[in-house]
Structure 1
Amino acid sequence: MSDSNRILVVDDEERIRRLIKMYLEREDFVVEEAENGVEALEKALENDYDCILLDIMMPEMDGIEVCEKLREEKNTPIIMLTAKGEESNRVQGFEVGADDYIVKPFSPREVVLRVKAVLRRTGQTNVKQTSMQTNNLIVFPHLTIDLDAYRVTANDQEISLTPKEYELLVFLAQSPDKVYKREDLLKEVWQYEFFGDLRTVDTHVKRLREKLTSVSKEAAKMIVTVWGIGYKLEVEEQ
């Protein structure tokens, strides 16, 4: 079981925690539980989980605050659990760094599929996959993205990104110098056409730039704001 992915399930309803745990354990995940935000944050900071399922509405500390505080320290993939009609909360969740969300009531099978999808996107899944081609790289003068290893390096230093930060960077890098509207980035990267706040994109770009800047200012400058429109990844002519 040591090779199994570790999942933290956070919800103040024991029935929901146990249901999710049962389905995840059937797929050989190792599952731990937390019943409130404070306990969740403590566990998430002390342990390295491969994914966290995090309810928004909880006592003591809500899921938004847990996500926000955790993002200051870690890039653990986070899937928010939200009640129907909590659209503003889902938008808030994306803004503070959540990677996906599932609306209650949900199918436990959907939860398993979403967890597997997030783990695949971060290269953390231990589920058997068909072999991929090697040396699948996107290389720029100051930035390299290894698509097989889900690894981003600048100045020969690896940069730790959340799944959504990584996906945003890859999406821009696959079409260098092409300008994308914020609405298009929301649709393509987040894969949801929700009535949300475009600040979700701005927040992730800001975080991405900060992380790149800490290693390479040249790499960070590649992500360019096109005022009034959106963003592009700009490549300097050599």
Structure 2
Amino acid sequence: MTTWHRNPLIGFDLETTGTDPETSRIVTGSVVRYGGGQPTAGRSWVVDPGVDIPAEAAAVHGWTTEAARSAGRPAAEAVPQIVTLLAEEAWQGRPLVIMNAPFDLTLLDREACRHGVAPLVDRVKPYVIDPLVLDKRVNRYRRGGRTLTDLCRHYVVQLDEAHTAQADAVAACAITWKLANRHRWLTRMELGELHEQQVQWAREQAEGLRDYFARTPGKEELAASVRLDWPLIPAPRTGVSDA
């Protein structure tokens, strides 16, 4: 029997205007198909977010406001294309591999609502695999950071162009494959079961972080900002602020 990690994985990554998924906008995005015995392929977008890109965000991903306006397509055009492609892959039963999934999926959800597009989760219930959640599960007590770059270093995954959406999406898939290959018990679960297990694991991990903040002098106020939702922070379907 072929396990899920031997079939195609669909990597998804966004580079954005900020770190708040409720208000940040997409600057670049990429959806890649990785593995399954086929060459890696995908589609990428440069997006004019319709707002200024802060200097601190541009310093991370390299896209200034002027560059995005010049090279990017309007968000109202790009967002439905991204959502539709992800929905098509999810309908085929392929898992969406997303590093720190609540950020990217929540931001995409808010962008969809902002532009009058049916959100992904209103079209299909995708199976999501988050290498950050998996790594914390199998290496709970490992010291050091757990950014994508950190995980690439730990799992010996090449990442030549960090903070480009396509490179990051491919790297997330490669990390996931190595995690599954190293911890075979993960591959004995069906995708639906693995998804539901991650809901529980992510909640436990977030609760642990919240408790750490609450008992650490100087960090107590951070506890209230820890969200327990995975893989998406839900929002009312009454509309999203344009702020």
Name the TM-score, length of structure 2 as normaliser: 0.33
If each structure's strand is expressed as a fraction of its own residues, which one has the higher value? 1
More helix per residue? 2
Highest RCO, 1 vs 2 (Cα 8 Å, sep ≥ 6): 2
TM-score by length of 1: 0.34
